[in-house]
Structure 1
Amino acid sequence: MTSAAFCIGGDLKVRRLGFGAMHLPTDPGPDRENSLAVARRAVELGVTLIDTAYLYGGGANEELLVEALHPYPDGLLITTKVGLARSGPSGDWKLDGRPAVLREQVEQALRRLRMERIELLQLHRIDPDTPLADQVGTLRDLQAEGKIGRIGLSEVTVDQLDQARAIVDIASVQNRYNLLDREHEAVLAACEAAGIAFLPWRPVAWGDAGAQAEIAAVAAELDATPTQVALAWLLGHSPVILPIPGTARIAHLEENLAAERIEMTPVHRERLDRLAEVA
C-alpha cells in the first residue's frame, strides 16, 4: 500500500488523493445543488485537498465551495490559482502575471473564499510577457505579508521551476500528467528530488485502444475499474504525487477515492509502466 498522506511544504499534511472542483457546475438550479452535495461528500469521505482557480467561472467555483463548506472543517486545504484575466471587448481569458493583477486577484480570492490567508496559492501559468521574477516575486511579497502560506506553480518546465526556487520556496507544481501522458516526467523527478508536491491535472486520460485494453485487463485482475487503476498507478509512481481527480457525480467521487485501497503487484505496475511507450 502507498502512503495515504503527504506534507506540502514539509508541514501541511493532506490526504494524497484530493478533489479537483473544476467540473462542478455553478449556475443556479439542480446542477448547482448537486455540486454542493458532491463537494460536501468529498469532505465527508476524508478529502483534505480541494483544488480550484479564479479561471473556473471567474471566481464562481470558489464561491460554490464557500457555500458548500464554509465554515471550513479543520484540516481542509482549499488551494486556488491566479494569473489569468479577462481582456478586450470579447472578454477572452489570457495569461496576465503582472504584479498589480496578481496582487488584486489574491485579494479578491481572499474575499471570495472568506480566508485571512490562502495556505497554498498557485500561479496558474507563467505569463511569457512578464518577467518570471516579477510574478514569483509578487507572490513572495504576498507571502511575507501573511496573505499566502505556501506558493505553487502550474505547467512549468524544470528550468522555470529552478528559476522560481531561486526566488522563493516552491511547495507544489501542478502539471498535466497521467498514466499515458508522461511529458513532464523530468519535472516530476525534480519535484521528487526536492520534496515538492506534484499535483497532476487530468490524472485520468485514455490513449489508443491497445492501451485501454491493457488497462482494462489489469483492472479486471484487480477487481477494480480502469479509472481506479490509473489513480492507483499515480499514487505508487512517486511519493510526491497528489492526484486531484474531478467529477460532478458522487458515484464517481466514491469510485475515485476507493483507488487508494488497490494493492498493485510489481508485475501489474511493470505492465502499466510500459504503456507510455505506445500511447
Structure 2
Amino acid sequence: MQYRQTFTLGGGLPVRRLGYGTAQLTGPGYWGPRGDPREAVAVLRRAVERGVTLIDTADNYGPSLAEELVAEALHPYPEGVVVATKGGVVRTGDDAWHVDGRPASLRAMCEASLRRLRRERIDLYQLHRLDPAVPMAEQLGALEELRTEGKIRHIGLDTVTAGQLAAALELVEVVSVQNRYHLLDRASEPLLRLCEERGIAFLPWFPLGNGELAGHPACARIAAGHGATPAQIALAWLLHHSPVLCPTPGTGTLAHLEENLDATGVRLADAELARLDALARPGDVPA
C-alpha cells in the first residue's frame, strides 16, 4: 500500500513525514548529557543526510542541552530543514516537571530557544503543556504575539484532547499537535480524527511505545516477510494509518537511526494493516 511521504505544515511548510526527535540525546529522564556529545552531533547530521527535514526538540530536554546540540550539528541550517521546539515546562530535576504558561514566561522561554538554536525565527513553536492555572486565551495569545513579531512561524500544542484543540482553534491557527500514540495505544484517536478533518499534523510521541514495540510478536511476524525489524513495522504502520501522522522517533545511536529511517521503505499490504489495526488494546479506540 502506498502513502504520501510528505506533509505540509500550515499549508506552506513541507516536511518529510518521518522526522527525528532529540529527547534521547539527553540522559535518563531527559536530564543532563548522554554519552559523548560528538555522537549526538553525528546522529543529527546523519538524519539530515538521510533526508529528514523535521527535527523535533524542546527547551527542557537536558534542559537546554538538546537545543544546543541541534545548533551545533546543523547551524547554518540546510535549506528545507524545519526545527520544532517546545516551551511551557520548567525542569528542576530529572523527575521534576513544572508547567508554566504565564505569557511573560512563554516569551522568555521562546527567546531563550531562539538564542540556543541560533535562529531568528522558530519554524514550529509548541506549547508543551496547557497550564491549568492560566486561561488558554492568555497562553495562546502570547504565542500569537510572538508569531506576529516574526519570532515563530507556526504554533503547535502538546498533550491535548480533541476538545482542547477545538477550543484552541477558535483562538489561533494551530498547525500541529503532539500526543502519545502508537500501534498499541490509540486513546487519542478522536484527536487524530479532528487533525485529519482540519489538516493538522499529529506528531505521535513514544511512536515505538518507549521500546515496547521493538519486540512485539505480531510486528515480528510481519517483519519477517519484509526483511525488516518489528520497530520498522510499527513505524510503517503509523505512516500508513493516517496521512497526518508524522512520527519523530528518537535515538542516540547511528545504527538505531538508520533502522528507524529505513522504515520508510516498508510497504504494508492491506491484510497486514488489518492485522496490525486489530492490536489496539481494549478501550483504546473510542467509537
Query: TM above 0.5, one fold?
Result: yes
Please state if 1:49 is matched with 2:54.
Answer: yes
Cα deviation for residue 30 of structure 1 reads 5.7
**Counterpart mapping for 1:79-98 below 5 A:** 79-86=84-91, 92-98=96-102
Please state if 1:193 is matched with 2:194.
Answer: no
Percent identity among equivalent residues?
52
Question: Partner of 1:275: helix, strand, or coil?
Answer: coil
1 CA distance for matches of 2:228 and 2:137?
A: 45
Q: Is the Cα contact below 8 Å between 2:26 and 2:61 reproduced in 1?
A: no
User: Which AA in structure 2 matches 1:32?
Assistant: P
User: Which AA in structure 2 matches 1:189?
Assistant: R
Cα deviation for residue 90 of structure 1 reads 11
Cα deviation for residue 223 of structure 1 reads 1.7
2 CA distance for matches of 1:91 and 1:141?
A: 32
Cα deviation for residue 170 of structure 1 reads 0.3
User: Which AA in structure 2 matches 1:48?
Assistant: T
Report the counterpart of residue 272 of structure 2 in structure 1.
268
Question: Partner of 2:216: helix, strand, or coil?
Answer: helix
- Tell me which moved more, 150-159 or 89-98: 89-98
Q: TM-score, normalised on structure 2?
A: 0.92
2 CA distance for matches of 1:184 and 1:110?
A: 31
**Counterpart mapping for 1:171-210 below 5 A:** 171-205=175-209
Report the counterpart of residue 143 of structure 2 in structure 1.
139
User: Which AA in structure 2 matches 1:184?
Assistant: S
Please state if 1:112 is matched with 2:135.
Answer: no
Q: TM-score, normalised on structure 1?
A: 0.94
**Counterpart mapping for 1:48-87 below 5 A:** 48-86=53-91
Report the counterpart of residue 7 of structure 2 in structure 1.
6
Query: Cα 1:42–1:91, aligned 2, differ >3 Å: closer, same or farther?
Result: closer
Question: Partner of 1:203: helix, strand, or coil?
Answer: coil
Report the counterpart of residue 40 of structure 2 in structure 1.
35
Please state if 1:161 is matched with 2:180.
Answer: no
> Which residue among 214, 235, 241 is the counterpart of 1:231?
235
Query: Cα 1:263–1:103, aligned 2, differ >3 Å: closer, same or farther?
Result: same
Q: Is the Cα contact below 8 Å between 1:25 and 1:31 reproduced in 2?
A: no
Aligned residue pairs total: 277
Query: Cα 1:145–1:208, aligned 2, differ >3 Å: closer, same or farther?
Result: closer
Q: Is the Cα contact below 8 Å between 2:180 and 2:207 reproduced in 1?
A: yes
User: Which AA in structure 2 matches 1:248?
Assistant: G
Q: Is the Cα contact below 8 Å between 1:52 and 1:61 reproduced in 2?
A: yes
Cα deviation for residue 207 of structure 1 reads 5.7
2 CA distance for matches of 1:207 and 1:76?
A: 30
2 CA distance for matches of 1:253 and 1:208?
A: 16
2 CA distance for matches of 1:29 and 1:264?
A: 35
Q: Is the Cα contact below 8 Å between 2:60 and 2:91 reproduced in 1?
A: no
Q: Which runs of 5+ in 1 are unaligned?
A: none
> Which residue among 197, 218, 225 is the counterpart of 1:214?
218
Cα deviation for residue 93 of structure 1 reads 2.8
Q: Is the Cα contact below 8 Å between 1:179 and 1:233 reproduced in 2?
A: yes
Taking only aligned residues, the RMSD between alpha carbons, in angstroms, comes to 2.2
Query: Cα 1:80–1:98, aligned 2, differ >3 Å: closer, same or farther?
Result: same
Q: Is the Cα contact below 8 Å between 1:180 and 1:207 reproduced in 2?
A: no
1:165-188 CA-to-partner distances (Å, cap 9, x unmatched) read 101100000111000010100001
- Tell me which moved more, 30-39 or 42-51: 30-39
